[in-house]
Each structure stands twice: as C-alpha cells, then as structure tokens.
A and B are shown apart, each in its own frame.
Chain A
Amino acid sequence: MGNLVSVRDLRVSFRLGKSHVVDAVRGISFDIPENSAVALVGESGSGKSVSAMSIVRLLPENAIVSADSRIEFGGRNLLTEPIEVLRDIRGKDITVVFQEPMSSLNPVFTVGDQIAEVLQLHRGLSRRQSMERVVELLNEVGIPDPRPRLASYPHELSGGQQQRVMIAIAIACEPKLLIADEPTTALDVTVQRQILELIANLRAKFKMSVLFISHDLALVGEIADQVVVMREGVVRENDSVVRIFSQPKDPYTLALLACRPRLDAKPRRLPVIDDFLSADGTTSLAPVVLALAAEIRQARPPEPVPIVEARGLRKEYRLKTGLFARKQIDAVKDASFGLARGRTLGVVGESGSGKTTVGMLLMRLVQPTAGQVLFEGKDLLALSDAALMAYRRRIQIIFQNPYASLNPRFTVGQILTEPMRVHGIGDSDDERFAMAVALARRVGLPPDCIHKYPHEFSGGQRQRIAIARVLSMRPEVIICDESVSALDVSVQATVLNLLLDLQDEFAISYLFISHDLAVVKYMADDILVMSQGAIVERGPSEAIYEAPQHEYTKKLLAAIPRGFQRVPA
C-alpha cells in the first residue's frame, strides 16, 4: 500500500504581535498510508491540530509555514500549490470533521442545504439530485427518519446528531482522507462511542484513510492502526498501535500510558510525567511503575455517622414556554446519600444527569426545591445566612474551569487571603500572607507566586491555587466538581495525587463529581451513578465496576475507551 499523504519536515509558527513569533510545530514527519487509520495524539500545545490543519492549509492568517516543509498528496506538494487546487481537494478528496459541531455548522442554513452544498460544489449536482443523495447520506450516518431532517436547523439537533451531520458532509464525496479533529471530545461518553463506531464503519466501507486527532490515548487505541505521539511541536514516537501499547520506547509515551488511572488497579499514587522524564529524557518504566503499583491505597474505614448527609434533595426549574404554559425540568429528583469522614464519594454521570447540581445544592449555591442537607446533624438548608457562615468554612468546593474560577484581577496573595479575612483566620495581614505562602508551598507552587496574577500560570497550577484557596479555611468536606476534567492527562495525575495526599493528612471527605469513569473509579471509595436527575445505582466502587446492576451503568461502563491497556513487562 502506498502512502496517501506524506508530511515531511513540517514547521509552523504563529506571529503574535509585531515581533513575537511562537513555534507551534518544529519539524515533524509522518505518513498516512492508504486505507488506514492514523492517530495523532498529544496534549494541549503539542501542535497536533496545527499539523493536521496544515494538510488542507486551513491555518489562521497569522500562520507561517516554512518553505522547506512538504506535504505530498497525489504527487503534489499541497503547501505550495495554488489555493484553487486546495479548494478543489477540500471537501472532495480530503475532508475535515471538527471538534465543536454546534458552532461548526452555519446556524442560518438548513441541515439539508449544508450537506448538499458539497455535492453541488464538487459533483455538480442540481439541487433536487443533491437532496436525494443527502437523504442517503443521513441514513448512512445513522440519523433516524432523515427526510424531515432536511429542513431542520442545526440548533434543533442534539450534539451527537450534529456531529453525524458534520460526518455526512465529510463523506458526501467519498474522500480519500478524513481528518477528524477531536470529534468526540465535546460529546458525552455514550455518544462518543457511537460516533467512534460510526467512523470506523464508514472507514471500512469506503476504504478511506482517517487521521484521528485526540488527547486520549485509550480512545485512540481502539480504532487506530498507527499512532503518532506529539509533544511540544515534535514527534516523540511513531509506531503501530500494538507496539505503542505493548513496547513504548519514548518516556513521554510511557508517561501518557501510565498516568491515566487504570480500571484494574488502585495504586497509592499515580505516576506522573516527571517520573519518566529525567534529564537525558530516558528512563525505564518498569521499576517506577512497579514500585508505585505495589502500594495499594487503603481507604479509611467508614464511621457509622456520616459527616454530611443529603435527604430527599430536589431541584426543579420552571420555564415559560407559552403564554401561560410552564414546563418543569427536574434537575435533581429525590437524592439521598451519605458522605463519611475521610472517605471519597464519587458521583458519575453524563451531561444533564444532575451531578453538578447536587454539588451546588450541598453548598447552597443553588436553592433546593425540597430536601435537607445535614452537616453533623444540622440542616444547612434551614440556617439563616448569618448562621450559615460558620459552616461555609467547613464545606468547600473546587470548580471545573481553572481559567474561570480565579478572579483575573486579584493577585494570588489576595485570592488566598480573602477567605482568611472573611472568616477571621489570622490576626493580621502579615500573618495571613505568611499562611498563604505556606499554603502555596503545600500545594507545590513556588512562594513568589503570591504577587503574580492568575494569567501567568498554567491550568494545572491554577487548579492548585484553587485548592490552596479552599485549604486556607481548613474545610472538612470538599466538593470536587469536575476538578480535573479540564486538565491534560499528565497534569491530572499531579492534581489527583495532591488531593489524595491532602486527604491522608487532614482526613478530608471528598464528593468527587466527574463524567470520567476511570478517574472516579480511582479516586472514589463509594460511587453514585446518576442519570437524568436520579441516582440509578450506588455502591462501593469495585462492586459497581465489576458487577453493575442498572442498565444505564452497564451502558456507561461499556463506553469507556479501553485501548490496549497492558502493563509493559
């Protein structure tokens, strides 16, 4: 089999401002063979998206591509061909599916028109002919009852359906190469699996190649034949999928494989990138992982009385839909559970399950419609605002988005000392600042961060600042609302390790909310599975994963990307 696309020595930089140039891709080379699936894997800033977009020259206006770079397709260098040639190839021979289907579709044109456009453009079909073909395509991508859908607008479809429409656009002209840029990242886990299977099926049917871009190695392991691992603009490893997973050579690849929490083990501590990358960039995996894996994490035995107990929590939203009609949405339906001291309760579910709302209700950031939240026996929801202040210290929350949870106009010092000032911790500003420095050190930040602003820190560091802020009040219960979901894999491991250390040291109870099943399984002692506002299953985490009872739980577990998870010998 020949190569469909060959990328040789690709170098891409971006011009920001007058003299500021940033290198995004620093000389990478790889091949995409015919009729095969190649995965481009890397974390944020690795340059994977930029590399893929360079193939069709869909780069922003401030991008600079080196003259020595070559991308060969059909005997031509796509980087130097005139733009008309590129336009002919786009949508016909090489097509793209993007990450965010909602914003990638034109909101004012119907679904039918948008798919038909490629057919009219490249196949010269008339409107009526193209519409017939569109119906076939919609069937192909698994949209039920396609004919009425022709007149639908994008916002009337769910995320999964929108992505199917994007795929329909991409396969309409039976391309040779489909570039899928993180196509499932914005979707729920169960939908993710459906889309993955769809892409795999279409690939087999049309014998086209797929370039699949992702940050999730496990996901990619299921459908790719070849994996290219990138980091900071260079290729770290490029090999068949079997060898990547069984005999990874590059320390970074090892790190990516090892840092993800695994479903079959509960080591005391997750390995992190630094464990693998020593000064000369080479380390052998075996001793590190074996040492960590040997120590199994012990959970604190549960006490008879839970520190926090939720009874019959309910949250209903009423929306006005007509002149007098109202629609009721039950975000949380009758949730009751207990959280024991020093243990972690995981809450798992997809979007719309109500898991985040539960956390908000416990914190009284959202007012419940009914129910009680008992903290050491006292109902928090019945307290006055003044009385609540005493409890605010003891139960705290870490949010998902590290870029939004810190006030951009406050210095780190101000962020850390504000809670102290509110709750009267510390006698003077100097003492509080000293405590802030100690906190920063505890979470692994350099002491001079006190005077810096949040925008000077990375996502993982900001999450540490958020943890330090919460810690300044010495809470007994911390709600982690998707606290690591927005972080890269390698960074996730460091933050999770920090949370576990703090739990060991201070006997903090965690309510760990996430959609990421592997992470929840690793962190939680007990798990609640939620779907559409209701708790559908509960139990110890091992039991849930080994013997799920509820249909939904089974579906959720089946959707977890497993890749090729083999411990290297």
Chain B
Amino acid sequence: MSAATIGAKAIVPARPERSAGVWATAWRRLRNDRVGMVSLAIVIAFVLLIIASALGLVAKDWQKEIGVPNAPPTFVGPRVEEATKDPLASLVAKDAKPVDLSDIDPLAPKYKEWSERAAKIQIADPPRAQTLAFGADRLGRDVLSKAVKGAEISIFVGLFAAVVATLIGTVLGALAGYVGGKLGDFLEWVYNVFTSIPDILLIFAFAAVLGRGIGTVVMILGLAGWTGMYRQVRAEYIKHRTREYVRAAEAIGVTHAQRMFVHILPNVSHVILVRMSLLVVGFIKAEVILSFLGLGVPVDQVSWGTMLSEAQAELVLGNWWQLAAATLFMAVFVTAFSLLTDALRDALDPKLR
C-alpha cells in the first residue's frame, strides 16, 4: 500500500464562501416568503413584549383598579351617565326637607366629632379614569395591561410546556426508534398507557392531584402532550437507522451514541422543530381553557383564560372589550405563529437535499 500517495501533504483550500447547509438555505428561502417574514416579525414583537412584561417594564400594575368599573375603551368614549331615574322620586315632594332626627338619634352627638376627625385624614385616592385604552373590567382594572400580562403567562406556558414535551418525546422516541428490542417494547407500553387515556382526561387527572399554578400547568401539559412527538421521532429514527449513511457510519466504527445524536439527530431536527411549533399553539389554547375553568393559573395571576371567564358575564351587560382584547391578542399571536410554522415547514422542504 503506497502510503505516500494518500498521506502526501496537500494544501487545504481556504474557506471563502461557506457552502450553505440546510439551515442557511432554509433561512434564505424563508426570507423570500413575505407572509413568513411578516409572521416572524409579529412573533418577535410579541416575544419582546412578554419579555418586557416579565421584567416589569410594562403592565406591572395590572392589578391596580385605576378605572371606573366597566369603563369603556377610549376609542368608544366614556359611558354617558343617564339621569338615574329614581322610581321613587315621583313620590317625594319637590321641596321636602329631610326630617331632623337628632333628638332620638343616639349617635347624633358624635357626628360633629367624626366629621372633624375625617377632615384630618387625607385619602390619596386618585380619581378613577372614565375610559382606558382598551376599557376596564368589572373591578376597574386596565384591560390592556391584563391582556399583555395574560400574553406573558399564556405564551410562556405554551412555550415551556412545548419544550418539556419535546424533550421527553425526543429522547424517548430516539431510544425507542434506534435501539428497539426490549427497551422499545417497554417504551411502547408506556406510550400505549398514556394514549389509552383521552388527553383532556389525563390533564384533568393531573390537575386534580397537582393543583393550580403556572409551573404545575407546564408540567401537566408537558406530561400529557409528549406522546405525539414520541411517535414522530420514533418513526423518523426507525426510518433513518437503516439508511445507508448510518450503515456506513457503523461500518466505519462509529459508536451507537454518536450515530444517534451526531448523525441522525441533525437529519431529524427540522421535523422536531415543526412539530414543536404545533405543540406551542396547542398548549396555549389548552392553557387558556384550563385557566378559564379555574384549573390553570392561580387566582392572583391573569391569563387570557381568566379574562375570558370574566368576559362571559360582562357580555350580557354589553361590555365587550375584555372579550375583544383577549381574543384579539390571542388570535394575532396564534395566527402569526401558525403561519410562521407553515412557512418554516415550506422553507425546510427536504427536497433541498
């Protein structure tokens, strides 16, 4: 074997323009997709908003009752106070004077003392606003702040629950798909157990025992929602483990772990990303329903779901703005995120390879 030929030192060409890998090519495709870019901008705007909210830069005082209860939004105008038609007014004579009860009123001597004392106390009660940017709820809290804070909670829960579900599903799916055998059978059994129970019921069961709270909701949704990711990752790993490039790696002597994570995982990552985006949307919607039912965030937090639960009663009275705010914020974000996911999937079209 002539070692001289192969081992000869050759000059490695410099790396001028780095050839585009899958992600760079995908990014280029995404850039050309107008709908995708607009959706991306909206999603980024929301993310910045909720970071600002989490840091306390905006919507910090959402709990303060700064408005008149059920104050309408500014663009609608303040509630016109109709002259309260007191039904009893017709019964009262026009120039009737109040009856003086001082001689039989046991508290009469104290009134003067009390009004003197009251005059000394200053209550700095700022006047309640007649209208707020997006109106006020029944307690007078600013709906816009609530919507922003609710966004923070709902999106946060959606994202983190998706991450949890993705981690569990990916690791288990990779093991089940690649290793197979007894481990695969065991994981399939776990999967069957979890999927035998309808999703909502599983969430309810977890909620019943684990209680409320943001962290709890993240865990509940993650534990109930990993099965879809597991199924897909497992299918991908089964498909790839017999592919020739993996066989070639085995022939070279690459270890199992390297094959699983260095060779196969990069080829599956785009599938995982798209699926995770779908999970985010699903989990946000689930969190909203949970909070609506009182099973999600604790009482002292606000979520789009709690806003909707208040909105039901408000609508009958004709106060539509909290419903509109929650729906609008949620619709814009979820639509943008869904369109972004679609654009991402098109950009990552495997025919690139």
Answer whether A and B touch in the complex at a CB cut-off of 8 Å. Answer: yes
Which residues in A have some Cβ–Cβ distance to B below 8 Å? Answer: 18, 363, 365, 388-389, 392-393, 396-397, 399-401, 404-409, 411, 418-419, 422-423, 430-431, 433-435, 437-439, 441-442, 447-448, 450-456, 466, 469, 471-474, 476, 505-507
CB within 8 A of B32: which of A18, A365, A411? A18
Q: Is the CB of A505 within 8 A of B21?
A: no
Q: Is the CB of B244 within 8 A of A418?
A: no
A225 to chain B, nearest CB (A): 39
The complex places the Cα of A393 from the Cα of B352 at a distance, in Å, of 33
Chain A residues within 8 Å of B18, by CB: 451
Residue of A with least CB distance to B19: A452
Q: Is the CB of A469 within 8 A of B1?
A: no
Residue of B with least CB distance to A396: B251
B163 to chain A, nearest CB (A): 23
Chain B residues within 8 Å of A442, by CB: 5-6
Residue of B with least CB distance to A403: B353
Known contacts A422-B253, A453-B353, A471-B6; 8 additional CB pairs below 8 A are: A363-B251, A365-B251, A392-B253, A399-B248, A405-B244, A422-B252, A437-B13, A505-B2
Which residues in B have some Cβ–Cβ distance to A below 8 Å? Answer: 1-3, 5-13, 15, 18-22, 32, 243-245, 247-254, 263, 266-267, 352-353
Q: Is the CB of B267 within 8 A of A434?
A: no
Chain B residues within 8 Å of A433, by CB: 12
CB within 8 A of B267: which of A409, A419, A439? A409
Q: Is the CB of A453 within 8 A of B263?
A: no
The complex places the Cα of A469 from the Cα of B254 at a distance, in Å, of 14
Chain A residues within 8 Å of B250, by CB: 365
CB within 8 A of A423: which of B3, B253, B266, B352? B253
The complex places the Cα of A506 from the Cα of B20 at a distance, in Å, of 35
Q: Is the CB of B251 within 8 A of A392?
A: yes
Chain B residues within 8 Å of A419, by CB: 252-253
Known: A365-B247, A453-B19, A456-B19. A434 touches B10 (CB 8 A): yes
Residue of B with least CB distance to A419: B252
A208 to chain B, nearest CB (A): 38
A136 to chain B, nearest CB (A): 43
Residue of B with least CB distance to A389: B253
What are 26 A-B pairs with beta-carbon distances under 8 A? A392-B252, A396-B251, A404-B243, A406-B245, A407-B267, A408-B22, A408-B245, A408-B353, A409-B21, A419-B253, A422-B253, A430-B12, A433-B12, A434-B11, A442-B6, A447-B13, A448-B13, A451-B13, A451-B18, A453-B20, A453-B21, A455-B352, A456-B19, A505-B2, A506-B1, A506-B2
B270 to chain A, nearest CB (A): 10
CB within 8 A of A474: which of B6, B13, B20? B6
B20 to chain A, nearest CB (A): 8
Rank and list the top 8 A-B pairs by shortest CB-CB distance, nearest first: A405-B244, A409-B266, A392-B253, A408-B353, A399-B244, A438-B10, A404-B244, A437-B10
Residue of B with least CB distance to A468: B6
A185 to chain B, nearest CB (A): 20
Q: Is the CB of A397 within 8 A of B2?
A: no
- The residue in A363, A418, A423, A431 that gathers the most chain B C-beta atoms within 10 A of its C-beta is A418
The complex places the Cα of A407 from the Cα of B266 at a distance, in Å, of 9
Q: Is the CB of B8 within 8 A of A438?
A: yes
A32 to chain B, nearest CB (A): 34
CB within 8 A of A437: which of B12, B32, B244, B249? B12
Would you call the interface of chain A mostly helix, strand, loop, or mixed?
helix
The complex places the Cα of A419 from the Cα of B6 at a distance, in Å, of 14
The complex places the Cα of A423 from the Cα of B263 at a distance, in Å, of 17
Give the A-B contact count at a CB cut-off of 8 A.
112
Q: Is the CB of B251 within 8 A of A397?
A: yes
Residue of B with least CB distance to A448: B13
Chain A residues within 8 Å of B8, by CB: 438
The complex places the Cα of A409 from the Cα of B249 at a distance, in Å, of 13
Chain A residues within 8 Å of B19, by CB: 411, 451-453, 456
Known: A399-B244, A405-B244. A441 touches B10 (CB 8 A): yes
Q: Is the CB of A437 within 8 A of B267?
A: no
Residue of B with least CB distance to A441: B10
Known: A392-B253, A396-B251. A437 touches B245 (CB 8 A): no
A115 to chain B, nearest CB (A): 34
Chain A residues within 8 Å of B245, by CB: 404-408
B260 to chain A, nearest CB (A): 13
The complex places the Cα of A405 from the Cα of B247 at a distance, in Å, of 8
A456 to chain B, nearest CB (A): 7
B212 to chain A, nearest CB (A): 43
B247 to chain A, nearest CB (A): 6
A414 to chain B, nearest CB (A): 10
- The residue in A389, A399, A433 that gathers the most chain B C-beta atoms within 10 A of its C-beta is A399
Residue of B with least CB distance to A420: B252
The complex places the Cα of A503 from the Cα of B324 at a distance, in Å, of 76
Residue of A with least CB distance to B9: A434
Chain B residues within 8 Å of A435, by CB: 6-7, 10
Chain A residues within 8 Å of B244, by CB: 399-401, 404-405
Chain B residues within 8 Å of A418, by CB: 249, 252, 254
B155 to chain A, nearest CB (A): 31
The complex places the Cα of A400 from the Cα of B248 at a distance, in Å, of 11
The complex places the Cα of A506 from the Cα of B2 at a distance, in Å, of 7
Chain B residues within 8 Å of A507, by CB: 1
Residue of A with least CB distance to B254: A422
Known: A409-B22, A438-B8. A474 touches B353 (CB 8 A): no
Chain A residues within 8 Å of B20, by CB: 453
Residue of B with least CB distance to A438: B10
The complex places the Cα of A365 from the Cα of B254 at a distance, in Å, of 12
Residue of B with least CB distance to A398: B248
Q: Is the CB of B5 within 8 A of A505?
A: yes
The complex places the Cα of A363 from the Cα of B1 at a distance, in Å, of 21
Q: Is the CB of B10 within 8 A of A407?
A: no
Residue of A with least CB distance to B18: A451
B31 to chain A, nearest CB (A): 13
Q: Is the CB of B6 within 8 A of A438?
A: yes
- The residue in B2, B18, B244, B249 that gathers the most chain A C-beta atoms within 10 A of its C-beta is B244
B8 to chain A, nearest CB (A): 5
Chain B residues within 8 Å of A407, by CB: 245, 249, 263, 266-267
- The residue in A431, A433, A435, A456 that gathers the most chain B C-beta atoms within 10 A of its C-beta is A435
The complex places the Cα of A473 from the Cα of B1 at a distance, in Å, of 12
The complex places the Cα of A452 from the Cα of B24 at a distance, in Å, of 13
Chain B residues within 8 Å of A396, by CB: 251-252
Q: Is the CB of B353 within 8 A of A454?
A: yes
The complex places the Cα of A422 from the Cα of B2 at a distance, in Å, of 21
